[in-house]
Every structure is written in C-alpha cells, then in structure tokens.
Amino acid sequence: MDEFIGAWTARHGATRDRLLPLLHAMQEEVGYIDDAWVPVIAKALNLSRADVHGVVTFYHDFRRVAPGRHVVKLCRAESCQARGGAGIEAAAAKLLGVAMGETRADGQVALEPVYCLGLCAIGPNALVDGRPVARIDAATLERIALEVAA
C-alpha cells in the first residue's frame, strides 16, 4: 500500500483536501482501508493519525475490514419503505443468510444499508456489486441470491 499511496499522491497531490479522493482510490483498489495504513496516509498528507482515523470512521462508505466478495446495498429510505422495502429487507437477509449491515461468515456476500439511490419511484431498490436493480420482489431476490452465490 505504501507504494500505491506514494504513486497516487505524486500524481494527484498531497494536500489535505486530497484525503477523501485518496481514501476512495484505496478502497477502489483493495476494498477497504486497513487501520495499518492510517499512519502511512497521515504521513503522506502531513496529517495526524487521529485526523485520518477520524475521517475514515466518520463516513459510512469507508470500510475498515475487507468486504464480502459480493456487496448488496439495499435501500432502507422512506420511498422504498412505502413500496414494501421492510419486507424485502427481511426476506433478503433470510435468503442471503446474512443480517443487514453484516458480511456472511464465509465472506461471500455483504448486505449493507443505503439511504436512497435516487430511484425512488421504482423501489424497493438495491445496488448489486454496483449495478442498480429496481422493483425488487421475491423473484428478483432469488436472482440476486443466485448471482452472489457465484
């Protein structure tokens, strides 16, 4: 990771305002921000470790442990609830064998909450490995479960 951070800051700059873009780039690269990398980031951007830790933990997007091989981000916000989102959430947890906000023990799939995807007229909605899926019903859930089993 030291190399990645060095190359990234050489290319994009090492000012404080580069912190979020760097964290996004790291997460894109390896899927999460390991606590062990916090001092390296801090040094590269000339910040305190506490500062970097504070930012990593503030934002819901940044993970501190490796995610599941597949990530299902299911919308929990009001407009999806109005279309039966709560029932779909319960069914998804059961079908995927993982509680909301958790990664399954075998590391195959994570079910994460998201608060609105901007698809609010066609819910319940999810991002399955980044791909938007709308009007989720029992049949859609079956397809998602098959997809993330691979």
Residues that bind ligand FES in the complex, under the rule CB under 6 A = 75, 77-80, 116-120, 123, 125
- CB atoms < 10 A from the CB of 55, how many? 18
Nearer to other proteins by Cβ, of 68 and 123: the residue is 123
Structure-token pair, residue 144:
């998602």
Query: Which residues, 6 or more positions from 117, have their beta carbon under 8 angstroms from its beta carbon?
Result: 73, 75, 125, 126, 127, 132
Question: Nearest approach, Cβ of 114 to ligand FES (angstroms)?
Answer: 8
Measure Cα distances from 136 to 41, 63, 116 in Å. 40, 26, 14
Q: Which of 39, 101, 138, 149 forms a contact with other proteins (CB under 8 A)? A: 101
Structure-token pair, residue 39:
């001092």
Q: Does 102 appear as a known binding residue?
A: no
Centroid of chain to Cα 72: 9
77 counts as binding other proteins under rule CB under 8 A: yes
65, interface contact from other proteins, ligand FES, none, CB < 5-8 Å by kind: none
Q: List interacting residues with other proteins (CB under 8 A).
A: 15-21, 23-24, 45, 54-55, 57-62, 77-83, 99-101, 113-123, 125, 127, 130, 132-135
Q: Which residues are annotated as a binding site for [2Fe-2S] cluster?
A: 75, 80, 116, 120
